[in-house]
Chains A and B, each alone.
Chain A
Amino acid sequence: MPGRASDPGNSLVPFSPEVRDPVVYPIRHGIKTPLFRVFVSWSHGNLLNVACLQASPPESNAAAGTAESEVNIGGKVVEVRLGDGDGEINEAQRRRIAYGSVPAFAMLQSRRNSLSMMSRMASSSFRNEWWRHVLEYSNQIKDLLGTPRLPSSSVIEDPKMVLQQIEEPTSLKVAWELMEIFYVDKQSSAWLPERLVDWLADYDCILAKTEPAIYSKLVNLQKKIVNIQVIEDDPEYWDGISSALAVGWLDVVVKLLRLHGSYQLDQLGNRETENGLVEAVAVLVSTMPRMRADVPTGKLGQCYKTKPDFVKAWEKWRGHITKLECSAFWVQCGHRQTREGLRNLLQIMLGNIKNLTTSTCHWMELYISHFLFIRPFSMGLEGMYSLAQKCMQLKPSSNSSGLIGVFMGILGGNTEVVLAECSKAFGPWMVAHAMELLMATDDHADILLHEERYNLGGISMEELYRLIYAQVLSSHPLTWQIAPTYLASCSKQGLGLLEVLLYRQSAHNYRVTLKNLEICRLYELENISECIMKIAGVYYWKHGRRGSGIHWLQQAHDEVRLNRIAQQLFDCIGKSISDDSFKQWEGLVELLGSEVGTAGGLEFLHKYRDFKRSLHLVHDKKAVDAARQTVESLVQLMRSPSTPRRFWLPLLHDSVHLLNWQGRPLLNVSETTLLLSKLQELSMAKLHPDFSDFDLPPQALATVRLALAKNLRQAILEES
Chain B
Amino acid sequence: MAIAGDANLRCFPQPNPVDAVRWLPTVSSLRRFAAVAVHDPDSSSSAIEVHALNPGPNLLLRSSHAIPSRISALRFSPTPQKPLLAAAATSAGSLHLLSIDPLEGSIDSELSVGDIGFSTGAVADVDGQAEGREWVSVGEDGRVNLVVVGDGRLEWRRVFDSKGLVEYSAVRWASPAEFATGGLGFGLQWWDQRKPGGAVAHFKGNWARGNTVGMVHSIDIHPSRKHICVAGASSGTVFAWDLRWQHRPLLLSGVSTGDTVQPASESEVWEVRYDSHIQPSSVGTGPTRILPVMMCSEDGILAVLQQGEEPVELLAEPCAINGFDIDPQNPSDVICALEWEMIGILPRSKETSTAS
Q: In the complex, A touching B, CB below 8 Å?
A: yes
Is B284's CB within 8 Å of the partner chain A? no
Can you name the residue of chain A whose Cβ is closest to the Cβ of B13?
A96
| Interface window among A56-64, A414-422, A541-549, A658-666 | A541-549
The CA-CA distance from A614 to B220 in the complex, in Å, is: 47
Flag if A103 contacts B211 (CB, 8 Å). no
Flag if B3 contacts A533 (CB, 8 Å). no
| Interface window among A213-221, A335-343, A510-518 | A510-518
Set B122, B166, B208: member contacting A547, Cβ < 8 A: B166
Flag if B211 contacts A526 (CB, 8 Å). yes
Which residues of chain B are near A476, meaning CB under 8 Å?
41
List CB contacts (< 8 Å) of A552-610 with chain B.
552, 555-556, 584, 587-588, 591
Flag if A103 contacts B298 (CB, 8 Å). no
B140-180 contact mask (Cβ, 8 Å, vs A): 1 or 0:
11100000000000000000001111110100000000000
Which residues of chain B are near A91, meaning CB under 8 Å?
42
Which residues of chain B are near A552, meaning CB under 8 Å?
213
B29-47 contact mask (Cβ, 8 Å, vs A): 1 or 0:
0000000000001100000
Is A239's CB within 8 Å of the partner chain B? no
- Knowing A515-B320, A545-B140 touch, does A587 contact B165 (C-beta < 8 A)? yes
- Knowing A92-B341, A106-B1, A517-B211 touch, does A584 contact B163 (C-beta < 8 A)? yes
Is B215's CB within 8 Å of the partner chain A? yes
Is B223's CB within 8 Å of the partner chain A? no
- Knowing A99-B340, A518-B299 touch, does A547 contact B164 (C-beta < 8 A)? yes
Least CB distance from A406 to B in Å reads 27
List CB contacts (< 8 Å) of A480-527 with chain B.
481, 509-510, 514-515, 517-518, 520-521, 526
Is B4's CB within 8 Å of the partner chain A? yes
The CA-CA distance from A91 to B13 in the complex, in Å, is: 13
Can you name the residue of chain A whose Cβ is closest to the Cβ of B163?
A584
Least CB distance from A557 to B in Å reads 8
Is B306's CB within 8 Å of the partner chain A? no
Which residues of chain B are near A96, meaning CB under 8 Å?
13, 340-341
Set A92, A107, A478: member contacting B1, Cβ < 8 A: A107
Q: Which of the four size classes fits the interface of chain A?
A: 35 or more
Is A477's CB within 8 Å of the partner chain B? yes
* Among B3, B121, B215, B340, residue most surrounded by chain A Cβ atoms (within 10 Å): B340
Flag if B1 contacts A515 (CB, 8 Å). no
Flag if B91 contacts A518 (CB, 8 Å). no
Is B263's CB within 8 Å of the partner chain A? no
Flag if A551 contacts B213 (CB, 8 Å). yes
Flag if B41 contacts A477 (CB, 8 Å). yes
Which residues of chain A are near B267, meaning CB under 8 Å?
518, 521
Is A102's CB within 8 Å of the partner chain B? yes
The CA-CA distance from A481 to B318 in the complex, in Å, is: 12
Least CB distance from A573 to B in Å reads 18
B227-266 contact mask (Cβ, 8 Å, vs A): 1 or 0:
0000000100000000000000000000000000000001
Which residues of chain B are near A633, meaning CB under 8 Å?
none
Is A529's CB within 8 Å of the partner chain B? yes
The CA-CA distance from A107 to B42 in the complex, in Å, is: 31
Which residues of chain A are near B318, meaning CB under 8 Å?
102-103, 106
The CA-CA distance from A708 to B3 in the complex, in Å, is: 72
Flag if A548 contacts B167 (CB, 8 Å). yes
List CB contacts (< 8 Å) of B162-213 with chain A.
162-167, 169, 184-185, 208, 211-213
Flag if A533 contacts B2 (CB, 8 Å). no
Is A645's CB within 8 Å of the partner chain B? no
Least CB distance from B179 to A in Å reads 20
Flag if A95 contacts B341 (CB, 8 Å). yes
Which residues of chain A are near B212, meaning CB under 8 Å?
517, 555
- Knowing A92-B15, A544-B164, A545-B167 touch, does A510 contact B140 (C-beta < 8 A)? yes
Least CB distance from B125 to A in Å reads 12
Can you pick out 8 interface pairs between chain A and chain B where the beta carbons lie within 8 Å of each other?
Answer: A91-B42, A95-B341, A96-B13, A140-B3, A544-B164, A555-B211, A556-B211, A587-B166
Which positions in A face B, CB cutoff 8 Å? 91-92, 95-96, 99, 102-104, 106-107, 110, 140, 476-478, 481, 509-510, 514-515, 517-518, 520-521, 526, 529-530, 533, 544-548, 551-552, 555-556, 584, 587-588, 591
Q: Closest 9 interchain pairs by CB?
A: A99-B340, A587-B165, A103-B318, A547-B165, A92-B15, A477-B41, A544-B164, A551-B184, A545-B164
